[in-house]
Structure 1
């Protein structure tokens, strides 16, 4: 039986880490860094980045990432990095900026450092880039040769990002354990290799951390406090979820999320917000105990994550729209294949409607 676990070579989390990027370039024997950063980083942290490289042996070029994380945009940055003669790629910013930088590192065959400025997804740690079409629709997953060499998280920066992003990261991380559990059940029932003990433990720790510290972290972040709860949630959103999903597997929650990206009306809903809702849909598909459903719905409600179709910009009165997403989620080759039983588009639509009803009617327990 073969088991494996995937992770970055080094994960660093702490205050002021944005000023230490040169140190991690030096560890990788880099002499010139090509930095892919979004507009927010340019506007707010260019000074800190510059000061960090002053007096060192590593030079850098700053590239402003704008637009969609598409193959066309990635290829354009690859050519620019080549012309600059860079020997290390650094991505600084949100999820799509980091996905672009990871893809650039892949095609350039250069070592990669990622420095997330938000904790809205678990993308930073993974050996995967999600590419989109020019108009923002999911294009494909790009498997990378390896995870990033360094993941550097400056918690001072992350904690100052809009609270909605931190909460969306909780929504993305929420699915980690339940999808890993579904994949594990599927593997065991089919006599296939299961995830490592370590990966499953990290996925469970991710879930437990969210339920224990999620609400407090949201409240502290709203009050500008970089508390232990905020630090814990940043680690859960980025590291525990990142390793847990990649080594534990994806299932219905992300399959249905991907289907929902086809619906224009869900565009204002963030990735993690969608996943928070589709995690409950997966639990309904699994016929999970009502206590488990109550626990997750209560968590979503307390943190402001979606529990109804209306919050997803959808409607139970338009089942045909739901069916578009459902059919896409059940297409061959999607994460739905990892469920321990066969799932149909009809069952997905039915589950979404049931979640909507539960979200509107299920009483909360004190």
Structure 2
């Protein structure tokens, strides 16, 4: 039996680290492609320009197209090849980061990840989630290596709207429950090996940190101030969840999140919000103790996460539509099979309905 744990080669977190970018990445090459989200493009140009000032390194900055699709990946690969870049840098949210990781994989050049949000655990993982042009889940692209470096500038994170931090906590909150399920099932993690004690410990620490510091971090973010609690939650959302989930595995919560993408009403709902609801559904599937479900719902409500389909924008619960969600959640290429018991489409349908009612009841 082979076990493994893997993570980025280097993780750097702190105030103002983006202004020191060249210090950290200069050894990776002489030419760089930076892919930036539109809303940070101007700020990134200014800070990166100052960071590389006085050097002879060539930096090309390109605006991200908005969705991690095969077409967007191919478009940026062509730019990277035309510029003969030696490393690619992502600055933005999860879809930007996943796109750049795919670029690094296909072009075989180093990848540097700079998240502008603590909204998901994508920065640290050797995984890209590919979507269709319509925004529906398409496939997981499993990568042979994690990013070479992850740099988290907390000055940027603290300025982001609190809904993104909450979404990150939603994504991270699933980490422990999915790790627990995979461990019970003696399943494989996302890199195809068994789960180490170290990986499970990271998932448990992620869970503990969220419960202890989640509400305080939310308040810190709302007031735009950096506190130890916010620093801890940023680390939990990005590193503990990223390494914990990748090395411990995904189960029902993420499968259900992917299934929810078939509902057009939820295309504007964040990944983390869908995963959080998926966690409630997983707990119902497991027939978890009611106190554990109450704790999960209370945490989610206190940090600003939806606990029902209605809160996410599904105003009419249509049986056929929810059955499609359930069927998509049980797709062979997804992670429902990592649950420690057989799960049918009908099981998922029932769990979604009950989780939705519990969310409304305990609200």
Once the two structures are superposed, the pairs formed by residues 69-148 of structure 1 within 5 Å of their partners are: 69-148=68-147
- Structure 1 counterpart of 2:159: 160
Deviates more, 1:230-239 or 1:262-271: 262-271
Q: 2 CA distance for matches of 1:355 and 1:316?
A: 16
- Structure 2 counterpart of 1:222: 222
The 3 A distance-change label for structure 1 pair 61 and 200 is same
**Cα contact 2:168–2:272 (8 A) shared by 1:** yes
Q: 1 CA distance for matches of 2:185 and 2:47?
A: 47
Q: 1 CA distance for matches of 2:122 and 2:249?
A: 14
Q: CA deviation at 1:24?
A: 2.2
Deviates more, 1:94-103 or 1:57-66: 57-66
Note the residue ranges of structure 2 that are not aligned, 5 or more in a row: none
Q: 1 CA distance for matches of 2:333 and 2:71?
A: 24
Q: 1 CA distance for matches of 2:154 and 2:271?
A: 21
Once the two structures are superposed, the pairs formed by residues 199-210 of structure 1 within 5 Å of their partners are: 199-210=199-210
- Structure 2 counterpart of 1:273: 273
**Cα contact 2:123–2:242 (8 A) shared by 1:** yes
Q: CA deviation at 1:44?
A: 2.8
SS of alignment partner, residue 187 of structure 1:
coil
**Cα contact 2:265–2:314 (8 A) shared by 1:** yes
- Structure 1 counterpart of 2:55: 56
- Structure 2 counterpart of 1:45: 44
1:300-329 Cα shifts (integer Å, max 9, x gaps): 111111111211222564122111100111
**Cα contact 1:74–1:103 (8 A) shared by 2:** yes
Q: CA deviation at 1:156?
A: 0.4
1:328-358 Cα shifts (integer Å, max 9, x gaps): 1112232000000011111111111111221
Q: 2 CA distance for matches of 1:218 and 1:55?
A: 39
**Cα contact 2:4–2:193 (8 A) shared by 1:** no
**Cα contact 1:187–1:193 (8 A) shared by 2:** no
- Structure 2 counterpart of 1:68: 67
- Structure 2 counterpart of 1:264: 264
- Structure 2 counterpart of 1:346: 346
- Structure 1 counterpart of 2:307: 307
- Structure 2 counterpart of 1:357: 357
Deviates more, 1:17-26 or 1:338-347: 17-26
Q: CA deviation at 1:197?
A: 0.9
1:14-63 Cα shifts (integer Å, max 9, x gaps): 011111221222233x1111111111121333211110111234321111
Q: 1 CA distance for matches of 2:327 and 2:78?
A: 38
Once the two structures are superposed, the pairs formed by residues 225-304 of structure 1 within 5 Å of their partners are: 225-304=225-304
Q: 1 CA distance for matches of 2:283 and 2:9?
A: 33
Q: Which runs of 4+ in 1 moved over 6 A?
A: none
The 3 A distance-change label for structure 1 pair 193 and 102 is closer
Q: 2 CA distance for matches of 1:157 and 1:195?
A: 34
**Cα contact 1:19–1:53 (8 A) shared by 2:** no
Note the residue ranges of structure 1 that are not aligned, 5 or more in a row: none
Q: 2 CA distance for matches of 1:142 and 1:360?
A: 36
1:168-216 Cα shifts (integer Å, max 9, x gaps): 000000000000100000017xxx9641111100001111111110111
- Structure 2 counterpart of 1:27: 27
Q: CA deviation at 1:268?
A: 2.1
Q: 2 CA distance for matches of 1:313 and 1:298?
A: 20
Q: CA deviation at 1:130?
A: 1.0
Normalised to the residue count of structure 1, the TM-score between the two structures is 0.95
1:81-118 Cα shifts (integer Å, max 9, x gaps): 11111111111111111111111111110011010010
- Structure 1 counterpart of 2:213: 213
